[in-house]
């Protein structure tokens, strides 16, 4: 079944019992076996997909929580300093944050609201790059191909086989980096592969890029110069390099979480956040949870109570004067 990003038909499940939950008539089942944190949402009002689309809680939930916090501050006339709020697109590749006018924003530090567990506090991310590869072949009639044909698709497959097979997203966790093949297309004459490369450690990140370059050199030596081409684009860096020098910002977030009854969980981000780009541009910016899980797919879910808890954390943050 193809998953759509439009025509979202959310399911609202009051007083969720903590067990397996059918997602509409899709045949998919949301299960605590796959998502153990569902057990903590027992009794909550759960919001899920119908199994045919994403939910879009990443990051409509964060937007809703920020705006609800602003509404509370105004309605309850809570004391606070100057607050700047903004919403940026394309956070996975840092493009929106790259264009943000920081002088106009006028903030000394910031927090993104774009994670999972409400107790999470993210002050460490991947270093990230995108790699686009082109492979050029020679196409002749297969009946007369002996010693003449070079199949670009097979050269592309050979390139992928040169990468460490155990260093993929589906085989790694925590601070383990990876090579992730995100798209492929081609024919005998030309093939293209696109990867994202991630690692929390800067030295290992550079080593991953070197592996790509070495594989390209090997194929060009084997099949002839120009058979393989590599384009590497930096996307973002590990914001821990900046935030380690800003402990008071982290301590402020920890106080806000504890005031909301949660013990902070320092979890390294295995994905993108605008906080990386913004931190290196001079705006230190850790990331907070939204309360959701299973993002980018049909199993995406969040609870209303977790969203309320995140709103409470945000109010605590800005009233900590």
pLDDT at 19 over 70: yes
For the CA atoms of 13, 16, 17, 19, the dihedral, rounded to the nearest 10 degrees, stands at 70
Q: Length of the chain in residues, anyone?
A: 321
223 and 185 in a common domain: yes
| Better-predicted residue by pLDDT, 15 or 97 | 15
Asked if residue 37 belongs to a domain, the reply is no
Residue-level pLDDT at 225? 95
Arithmetic mean of pLDDT over the chain: 93
Task: Round to whole Å and give the CA distance between 321 and 312.
Answer: 16
13 lies in a domain? no
Are 104 and 133 in a shared domain? Answer: no
Question: Do 135 and 92 lie in a common domain?
Answer: no
Number of domains into which the chain is organized: 2
Integer angstrom CA distances of residue 186 from 158, 168, 189, 195, 205: 14, 22, 8, 15, 28
Q: Are residues 224 and 159 in the same domain?
A: yes
Q: Give the pLDDT of residue 4.
A: 63
Token pair 């006028």 is found at: 106
Per the structure, the complete domain to which residue 206 belongs is given by 127-236
pLDDT digits (tens, 9 = 90+) for 129-156: 999 999 999 999 899 989 999 999 999 9
Q: What is the mean pLDDT of residues 160-183?
A: 96
């Amino acid at each position: 079944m193809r998953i759509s990003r439009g025509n979202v038909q959310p399911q609202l499940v009051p007083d969720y019992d903590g067990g397996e939950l059918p997602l509409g008539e899709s045949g998919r089942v949301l299960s605590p076996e796959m998502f153990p944190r569902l057990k903590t949402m027992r009794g909550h009002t759960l919001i899920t997909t119908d199994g045919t689309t994403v939910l879009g809680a990443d990051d409509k939930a964060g937007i809703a929580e920020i705006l609800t916090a602003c509404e509370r501050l105004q309605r309850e006339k809570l004391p606070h300093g100057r607050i700047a709020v903004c919403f940026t697109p394309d956070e996975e590749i840092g493009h929106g944050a790259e264009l943000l006018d920081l002088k106009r924003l006028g903030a000394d530090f910031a927090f993104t609201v774009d994670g999972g567990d409400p107790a999470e506090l993210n002050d460490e991310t991947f270093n990230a790059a995108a790699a686009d590869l082109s492979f050029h072949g020679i196409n002749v009639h297969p009946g007369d191909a002996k010693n003449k044909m070079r199949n670009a698709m097979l050269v592309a497959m050979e390139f992928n086989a040169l990468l460490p097979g155990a260093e993929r997203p589906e085989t790694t966790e925590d601070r383990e980096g990876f090579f992730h093949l995100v798209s492929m297309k081609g024919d005998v004459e030309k093939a293209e592969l696109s990867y994202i490369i991630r690692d929390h450690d800067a030295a290992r990140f550079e080593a991953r890029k070197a592996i790509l370059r070495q594989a390209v050199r090997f194929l060009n030596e084997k099949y002839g110069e120009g058979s393989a081409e590599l384009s590497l684009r930096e996307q973002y860096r590990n914001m821990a390099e900046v935030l380690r020098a800003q402990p008071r910002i982290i301590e402020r977030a920890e106080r806000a979480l504890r005031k909301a009854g949660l013990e902070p969980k320092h979890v390294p981000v295995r994905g993108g956040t605008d906080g990386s780009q913004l931190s290196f541009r001079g705006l230190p910016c850790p990331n907070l949870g939204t309360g959701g899980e299973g993002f980018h797919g049909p199993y995406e879910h969040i609870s209303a109570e977790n969203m309320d808890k995140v709103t409470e954390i945000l109010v605590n943050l800005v009233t900590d004067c």
